[in-house]
A = this chain, B = another copy of it.
Amino acid sequence: MRAVVQALQQGQRFLLGLHASPDGDTLGASLGLAAALRSQGKTVDVVCPDPIPVTYRFLPGADEVLGWEGVAGPYDALVMLDCGGEDRVHAPVSLASLARLVVNVDHHATNPGYGDVVWVEPEAAAVGEMVVELIDALGVKLTPAMALPIYTAIVTDTGGFRHATTRPRTHRLAARLLEVGVDPGAVSEALFEQLTLPILKLLARGLQALAVDPDLPVAWIVLTEDDFAQTGTDPSLLDATGLIGFARSLAEVEVGVMMRPSGPGAMRVGLRSKGGVDVSEVARGFGGGGHERAAGCTVEGDPAWVQARLRTALAAALARGGSIRAKTP
């Protein structure tokens, strides 16, 4: 961490890079760090290859995130937060041509350690946690402008302090952020109570489609083009429905699977595990990837064929790993 602090102290003009398909952590951590650096009179641009999802637009500064077309280097440093690989920012030019220094701050255990200055802490529940440490080390006083996005980073990446990654330090940091003035009820409302009717109708159709496998502890949700057409939605809204989480929520289920058409002749597959099966292994078998409990892949073939292949892979994975897991808290 020392080297990161030094880079932040010495530079004057920074570019903070969000990963593609930005989530609350890459965005919140970046906006929090941007506010801290600006409070020290430094210049900061924030860049993202994709639009910021509506859910996060309540964060001050979210509307000022640039696309790559708005970025003109060179910067003293490009700081990439929550980017598991250097390609995750989708930069149109080499990172070295953008900034004198590439700083890699992440909590993905799989981070390969790219960049000139690297701080990867897999134990951190969110990169937002690491940004608070940076702010402290810089001697910057935490303000509401920093606390709100950082709290949002932590609350989204831990599923509201629910995930097993949540550690005592996560809660102690949350306590500090509330003390600075974050209103947890207002953040919760902004994140979870700004849905649209089409999103809820898509959720309803997905739940109608949900079926438990006759032989395996697996729940399947197979969506069709019709599900999107009839509800006036598109797959980009699936995240907001929380649909795949429901597939895993059944007592008798170990793995939840959601499938949707992805271009002609292929299905996009999401996998969620309660922990007894490493679904990233299953996804890797189909050229995908992810984490132990959340992974995905794209599989060619019609829905029935894709489902059959997945069943076989899941049956094997369940046979291997199904007994390793303690079921009681």
Contacts and interface: CB of A to CB of B under 8 A. Distances in A.
A187 B329 contact: yes
Contact of A203 (B167, B194, B207): B207
A148 interface: yes
Contact of A249 (B175, B192, B205): B192
B193 A164 contact: no
Contacts of A164: 183-186
Interface stretch (A154-162, A298-306, A313-321): A154-162
Contacts of A174: 161, 171
Nearest to A178: B168
A250 B200 contact: yes
Contacts of A161: 155, 160-161, 174, 184
Contacts of A93: none
Contact of A160 (B162, B186, B250): B162
Interface residues of A, number: 56
Contact of A275 (B167, B175, B185): B185
B207 A200 contact: yes
A176 B184 contact: no
A172 interface: yes
A168 to B, nearest CB: 4
B58 A186 contact: no
Contact of A189 (B176, B188, B274): B274
A167 B178 contact: yes
A163 B161 CA distance: 13
Contacts of A166: 178, 184-185
A108 interface: no
Contact of A175 (B148, B168, B212, B329): B168
A201 B195 contact: no
A219 to B, nearest CB: 8
Contacts of A190: 328-329
B246 A200 contact: yes
Nearest to A144: B329
Interface in A269-298: 274-275
Nearest to A209: B204
A312 to B, nearest CB: 24
Contacts of A189: 274-275, 329
B184 A212 contact: no
A244 B161 CA distance: 23
A328 B250 contact: no
A169 B184 CA distance: 13
B185 A163 contact: yes
A187 to B, nearest CB: 5
Nearest to A193: B249
Nearest to A219: B197
Contacts of A208: 201, 204, 208
A316 to B, nearest CB: 23
A179 interface: yes
When A and B form their complex, which 5 residue pairs have the shortest distance between CB atoms, in order from nearest?
A164-B185, A186-B329, A204-B207, A171-B175, A162-B188
